[in-house]
Every structure is written in structure tokens, then in C-alpha cells.
């Protein structure tokens, strides 16, 4: 299964990707997580990307496409993968198409989680994330079993540096200007599934699995 979770910042992509990993036993490829790992390792790429991420802007396409090219070539992607937060621009979507054509594989489904902007700020400011495994929780809507401890790996949860009301505005701006046009791109490709992302986490998961069966 080659899947993509799609949606605005805070729509629930990372949250739902975790359930897909469990069910299909395929890796999640989150460009956001890969970039944050590069920042914590202080690589040149990470330091360059950090400037854009801290301002809520998109990292340049050339950097992102390079990351994905390397990642999809790894062995664990042979039986499928879940793209999360990639692609986010038309050039990225076109590069992905070329890459997958070359690999003789195709996308099975793009799962779009539709959540209006008004709900996004509350989701993002209450989020707690796991630096160990990338899992997301929410202090109110999706709390971890033990406060500030990851359910999956036991690491201490933290607040993401770009999770503040100010940066959220520019992230939403980037989403509407550069990423939302991909809905049409994937609808035309015949792989788009649009889900109501405002429902409870478990309801969204149920709808998602129904759309895949
Ligand atoms: P990235 O890490 O991808 O961030 P994002 O797109 O802003 O998305 P988020 O991770 O914030 O949201 P999510 O949809 O995963 O939501 P989550 O499941 O956590 O990217 C970060 C930055 O990196 C970008 O700004 C950019 O600079 C750069 N970047 C990354 N990829 C790039 C690319 N391809 N091109 C260029 N630049 C790139 O859920 C959010 C919260 O809501 C959580 O607290 C969760 O518990 C809660 N929640 C989830 N579902 C529900 C529900 N149904 N009801 C109530 N609460 C819920
Ligand atoms: Mg995420
Ligand atoms: Zn964890």
C-alpha cells in the first residue's frame, strides 16, 4: 500500500498515520519529522531548514525532493509507505510522480483530513509531541495515558518550537497558497478521499479504514 495523508497543519496527519503503520506495517515518511531530526543533529541541511520552519514557511522544494528521493530508496519502503506532510507544492507532487513512475509504483490513496482554520489553532497550541517516535497528543482532545509521557515509547513529551499562535498563521497561509491546490491534482489522478477531520480521532480512523477497504 502506497498511501498519503494530506491536510492543513494540525489536521491530524501524524495522528492518523500512526494507525496506518500499525495496521499495514509500513513506514511513515514525515518530512517534518525528518527535518526536525536533522535540526537536532545540527546538520547543514537541518540548520538551513530551521530558518524556514521557525517562521512557518515551506522549506525549498530542492531540499525536500532530495530527502524523499533518498528515503523512498530505502529497503523498508519496498512493501509500501505512508507519506505525511509531503508533497506540499505542485513541483513536489510532480517530482513524486516522476520518482514513483521510475520505481514502477503508484499511489493507492490520498487521504485528505478536512479541518477548518478556526479549529486548527486550538489543536496546535494544545499539542504535545514525542521526540522519540514522533507521536502527537493533545492535552484536551487526545491526552497521553500518563501526563507528558509517550504512550508508544515512554519518552517525555515536548512542545514543538513552531507550535505557537503566531507561526500557525503563516503555516496556514502557506497551506492555502501552496498546498491546497494539490487537492485538485490528486482528485484528477483518481486517488483522492476527502474525510471530515473534525470528528473524534477514533471516528476519523474508522472512516479512513472504511475508505481503504
Ligand atoms: P510538519 O511537521 O509536517 O507540520 P504540519 O504540516 O504543520 O502538520 P502538523 O504536524 O502540525 O499537523 P498534523 O496534521 O500532523 O497534526 P497532528 O496529527 O499532530 O511540518 C513542519 C514544517 O516543516 C513546515 O511548516 C515546513 O516548514 C517544513 N516542511 C515539512 N514538510 C515540508 C514539505 N513537504 N515541503 C516544505 N516544507 C516542509 O494533530 C495536531 C493536534 O491535534 C495534536 O495535538 C493531536 O493530538 C490533535 N488531533 C488530531 N486529530 C484530532 C481530532 N480528530 N480531534 C481533535 N484533536 C485531534
Ligand atoms: Mg505532523
Ligand atoms: Zn514516542
What's the pLDDT tens digit per position in 126-145? Answer: 999 998 888 999 999 999 99
pLDDT at 88 over 90: yes
CB of 50 closer than 8 Å to CB of 61 = no
pTM assigned to the model: 0.96
Mean pLDDT of 149-174: 95
Alpha-carbon gap, residue 15 to 45, rounded angstroms: 26
The residue annotated as part of the active site, out of 18, 36, 50, 127, is 127
CB of 1 closer than 8 Å to CB of 26 = yes
Q: Is 112 in the pocket of ligand 1 (CB under 6 A)?
A: no
By 3-state DSSP, what share of the chain in percent is helix, strand and coil, each rounded to 5?
50, 15, 35
3-class DSSP state of 32: helix
Domains of the chain: 2-116+183-198 (3.40.50.300)
pLDDT at 76 over 90: yes
Q: Which residue has the CA at smallest separation from atom 40 of ligand 1?
A: 10
CA angle 27, 37, 153 (to 5 degrees): 60
Ligand nearest to the Cα of 6, by number: 1
Pocket test for ligand 1, best of 17, 21, 31 (most atoms within 8 A of CB): 31
Supply φ then ψ for residue 42, to 5 degrees: 55, 40
Catalytic status, residue 128? no
Ligand nearest to the Cα of 135, by number: 3
106 Cβ partners below 8 Å, 6+ apart? 2, 100
Q: Is 172 in the pocket of ligand 1 (CB under 6 A)?
A: no
- Report pLDDT for 110: 98
Mean pLDDT of 167-184: 97
Question: Please, what's the b/e burial string for 50-63 (b: 16 or more CB within 10 A of its CB; e: otherwise)?
Answer: beebeebebbebeb
The residue annotated as part of the active site, out of 13, 18, 36, 128, is 13
Q: Is 9 in the pocket of ligand 1 (CB under 6 A)?
A: yes
Q: Is 134 in the pocket of ligand 1 (CB under 6 A)?
A: no
- Report pLDDT for 133: 87
Q: Which residue has the CA at smallest separation from atom 29 of ligand 1?
A: 32
Catalytic status, residue 127? yes
Alpha-carbon gap, residue 67 to 52, rounded angstroms: 16
Catalytic status, residue 71? no
Catalytic status, residue 13? yes
Amino acid at each position: 500500500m502506497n498511501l498519503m495523508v494530506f491536510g492543513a497543519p494540525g489536521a491530524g496527519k501524524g495522528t492518523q498515520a500512526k494507525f496506518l503503520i500499525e495496521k499495514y506495517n509500513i513506514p511513515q515518511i514525515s518530512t517534518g519529522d525528518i527535518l526536525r531530526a536533522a535540526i537536532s543533529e545540527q546538520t547543514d541541511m537541518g540548520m538551513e531548514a530551521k530558518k524556514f520552519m521557525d517562521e512557518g514557511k515551506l522549506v525549498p522544494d530542492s531540499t525536500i525532493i532530495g530527502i524523499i528521493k533518498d528515503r523512498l530508496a530505502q529497503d523498508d519502503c519496498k512493501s509500501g509507505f505512508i507519506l505525511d506532510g509531503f508533497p506540499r507544492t505542485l513541483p513536489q507532487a510532480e517530482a513524486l510522480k516522476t520518482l514513483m513512475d521510475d520505481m514502477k509504483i503508484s499511489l493507492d490513496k490520498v487521504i485528505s483530513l478536512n479541518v477548518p482554520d478556526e479549529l486548527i489553532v486550538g489543536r496546535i497550541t494544545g499539542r504535545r509531541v514525542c521526540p522519540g517516535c514522533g507521536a502527537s497528543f493533545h492535552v484536551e482532545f487526545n491526552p497521553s495515558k500518563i501526563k507528558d509521557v509517550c504512550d508508544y515509547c515512554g519518552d517525555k513529551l515536548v512542545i514543538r518550537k513552531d507550535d505557537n499562535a503566531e507561526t500557525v498563521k503563516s503555516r496556514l497561509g502557506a497551506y492555502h497558497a501552496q498546498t491546497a491546490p494539490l487537492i485538485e491534482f490528486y482528485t484528477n489522478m483518481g486517488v483522492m478521499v476527502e474525510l471530515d477531520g473534525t470528528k473524534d480521532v477514533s471516528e476519523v480512523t474508522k472512516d479512513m479504514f472504511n475508505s481503504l477497504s
